[in-house]
Structure formats: structure tokens, C-alpha cells
Amino acid sequence: MKRWIVGLTLLTLTIGAVELAAHMDSSVSERALSALRRQSEPAIAELRAAGQPGVDAFVAASENLIDRSKPEDVARFRAVLDRICRQRDCYASHLYWYTDLAQAEGAARAQGKPILSLRLLGNLDDELSCANSRFFRTTLYANAKVAHTLHDQFVLHWSSERPVPKVTVDFGDGRKICSTVTGNSAHYLLDADGNPLDVLPGLYSPDAFLAQLTRLHNFAQQYARINPDARDRMLREYHSNQFQQVARLRDRELTLASALRPATPPVATPVASVPPAPMASSAQATTLSTARDPWTVLQQAPAVRVDAINIGSLSTSKGVYEVAILRDLGQTLAAVDDSQWKRMAANHVNEVHFDAASIALMQEKAPSFQTRMLANLQRTVEEDTLRNEYDFHLRIHQWFGNGPRPASFQALNRRVYAELFLTPASDPWLGLLQDDAFSAVAGGGVVTRSR
């Protein structure tokens, strides 16, 4: 009863926010842009409370309120918009993000949309959030087609897993390099009650991400319409089918990659034999191992196992790789090494396209942005796409397909960070502190907060 009352209250607030935005005139946006805090702060809060319609109203009004030839006007507009959206560089996406899941659920119920919830290290409205989220802002959210899809088909929400670890390299002559180290992000598909339906782990190329969004939205709509008593079964069948499709695609990619050099079949590695290592995006120019498999026995539904056995009837030239796919459903998982991922990515690197809006944002971030930098980005993004879809996402489909469904978004997120990203909440150092390594620095160079 209490949950129903809370939901009704949130629904009323959400409808009120939409009506508020519909009746906003340009004076609210004008006050939001004021240099006087007593005028700007209440107006920004009012626009923020209106949700996505508040963002849309502010963007539309700003056309007549700022002089884009004046850098100070542009900077003020962007800073205010970031606060309304709660996303850094929101001028390139115009997307509103909830930071309270209960409010996002209320909006989802009112609008009849699923929730796409981003979990990241740091905050989405900080310049130095984790590397994945920075790539999301530049290569995905800034993309016109992606932004349009997110705007129209999802309620957006983000939350922080933990503060993002940062590193500063001081050269001692006034020059410094400031960046982040390790960390990964994931987009969770949630229904209007906050129940997890799927996870997109890490970075995807724009076209691949857009295709995933279409699939996620279609499934969420079907899931919402079905009898609640049948939803658990529908979720298991959906992920079992997705597992089969993704596994077969991976098999093809391995076969194509093998053609680039004398074929050497992948060796099925016992589950527990490969030691864990911290996980990082290849787009971070990190070469940490991803071979570890955290599962022991993976039992699939009978229908899925029959389909897997049928793979064995395909051509002999592909058989060595299809054996590996069969083992995904049993006790072992074939390791795909870095060279295989790179060869697979090489087959598709020319399919990675960044639209004009993304390129413009990249050039603003890096004035020296050049063709070589773009080519490197295309290569690493494609490699990330394949690793995330053919490794992490494949395993997520196994989790859901094996049942029971995840108890909650929080429970599923703990498992994703612990077993996939290998950065469990129980490790405050994210795998970066090695107890058995001598550094010849007092205290190992570790500084902790004083009590």
C-alpha cells in the first residue's frame, strides 16, 4: 500500500513537471542565465524540476537569449544547461538525467517508458568521471541519432558506484598530466518499477549502441504488456535466445579472425585456472587481462542446450570454434586472447562512424585532434564493442537465462562490478594496491584519510 501511495505521488509530481514546462515562458530561462545568483538559482531549480521538458524549454529559449559569438555567453549557457541536465557537455546531447531512482521510476510510469540507468565511477556532470562515461558523452550521447533515441524512448538515470580514482603526473617544471585510472561503466535496462531486464557493459560503437537501444526498448515494451505472472519466464527465454544469437555471432567472428593467420583453435581453459586482474576499457589504452572466467558450472535451459548441440552439424571448418561455444554452456569457457580481439576488431574498424556532432565535441576537447587520433579511437572503440558484447554481455545473458532473475538492480550491479569488471566494492583500492610488492617508499606511498 505504501509503495502504491509513493508511486501515485511521484506520478502526480511528474505530470506536474510536464505541465510546468509546457507553461514556462522565456523569463524562467532568462533568469537562469542571470549573473545574479538570487535570480539564477531558483530558475535553474525550476527548470531541473520540470525534467526533460525543462531542458527542452531552456534550449529553445536560449536561441533568443544568448549571443553565440560571445564566448562568455556560450560558457554561461553550457554551465547552466549542465546543471539542469546533470550531465557534462549537455549542450551536445540535450538529455535530462535523473539522479534519484525513485523519481526516475515515477517518470517511467507516467510516460510509459523503460529506464536506462547508467552506473559509473565519479559523476556524469564532472569532467573527470571514469573513462567509459567520458567516451559515452563524446561518442554516444552527442551522436544525433543516439540522443534522439534516448530522448524519445527512455527515462534516463545515473548513479555513482564510487569516486573515480585520479592520477596526476607532475613533471616538476609546471607541466602536469591529470587523468583517471581504471574503472568501468554499464547501462542497465530497468522497468518502471526499477527491476533489471538487461545490462550493456562498457563502451559500444555508436551504431552498435543504437542497435542495442532499439532491441532493449522493444523488449521492455513487450515485457510491460505481458501478464506479470509470465514475466520471469519471458525474461529467461529472452536472454536464452540472446545468448544463442550472440554466441553464434562470436563463433563467426572467431572464424573470420582465424583467416588472418594460420588457424589455431582456441584452447578451452578451466574456469578457475586464470588469475583475476583489474578490468579496464581498451579505449583507455590499457592492456589488462580479460581472460578470467568467474563461473564454475553453467546449466542452461533444455531448449537452449538442444540448439547448442545442433551447432555441431555445421561445416567442419568452423567446428573448432563451435566446440568452444558449446563449452560456454557447460563447465569451461574458451579464452579469447588479445590478439584474437584485435584481429576481430580489424575486420570491422571501418564500420565505426562518429557523426558531425561527436567529431565537433572531440575537436573541442582536443584541439590537436587529427586523422591518426580518429583512427586509433575507431580501433579501440570497435575492440571494446566486441569484448563487451562477446564476453561480458554473453555472460550477462547466461546469468538471466539460468535464473532466477536478479533480486534487484543493486544486487545485479554488485555482481557486475565484482565478477565482470573485477572491481568489487569490498576492494577500496580497485586492484591497484598490491600487498606483496615492495616500492621502496615509506608506507608504500599510500595515503589514507586521517580519522
User: In this predicted model, what pLDDT tens digit does every residue of 297-326 receive, in sequence order?
Assistant: 222 333 332 232 232 222 222 222 233 333
| Contact of 398 with 298, CB cutoff 8 Å | yes
pLDDT in tens, 389-443: 999 999 999 999 998 888 899 999 999 999 999 999 998 888 778 777 777 888 7
Beta carbons within 10 angstroms of residue 370's beta carbon: 10
Res 121 pLDDT > 60: yes
What is the chain's mean pLDDT, rounded? 81
Of 141, 57, 150, 192, nearest in space to 361 by CA = 141
- The continuous run of DSSP H or E covering 169 comes out as strand 166-170
* C-alpha cell at position 131: 573513462
Where residue 115 falls among pLDDT bands split at 50, 70, 90?
very high
Distance from C-alpha of 128 to C-alpha of 269, rounded to nearest angstrom: 37
| Contact of 132 with 34, CB cutoff 8 Å | no
pLDDT for residue 448:
78
What is each CA distance from 412 to 264, 278, 405, 417, in whole angstroms?
Answer: 36, 19, 9, 9
Average pLDDT of the residues in 360-377: 93
Average pLDDT of the residues in 197-224: 98
Res 105 pLDDT > 90: yes
pTM over 0.75: yes
Res 279 pLDDT > 50: no
Res 379 pLDDT > 60: yes
Distance from C-alpha of 319 to C-alpha of 210, rounded to nearest angstrom: 32
| Contact of 148 with 160, CB cutoff 8 Å | no
Distance from C-alpha of 6 to C-alpha of 258, rounded to nearest angstrom: 56
Longest dimension (CA), the chain: 74
Of 433, 442, 426, 439, nearest in space to 165 by CA = 433
Average pLDDT of the residues in 66-77: 96
The number of CA neighbours under 13 Å toward the Cβ of 149 is: 20
Share of the chain above pLDDT 90, in %: 65
pLDDT for residue 301:
31
pLDDT for residue 293:
28
* C-alpha cell at position 162: 564510487
pLDDT for residue 432:
79
Res 35 pLDDT > 80: yes
Domain ranges of the chain: 18-85, 235-420
pLDDT for residue 334:
66
Distance from C-alpha of 266 to C-alpha of 251, rounded to nearest angstrom: 11
Res 242 pLDDT > 90: yes
Under DSSP, is residue 186 helix (H, G, I), strand (E, B) or coil?
A: strand
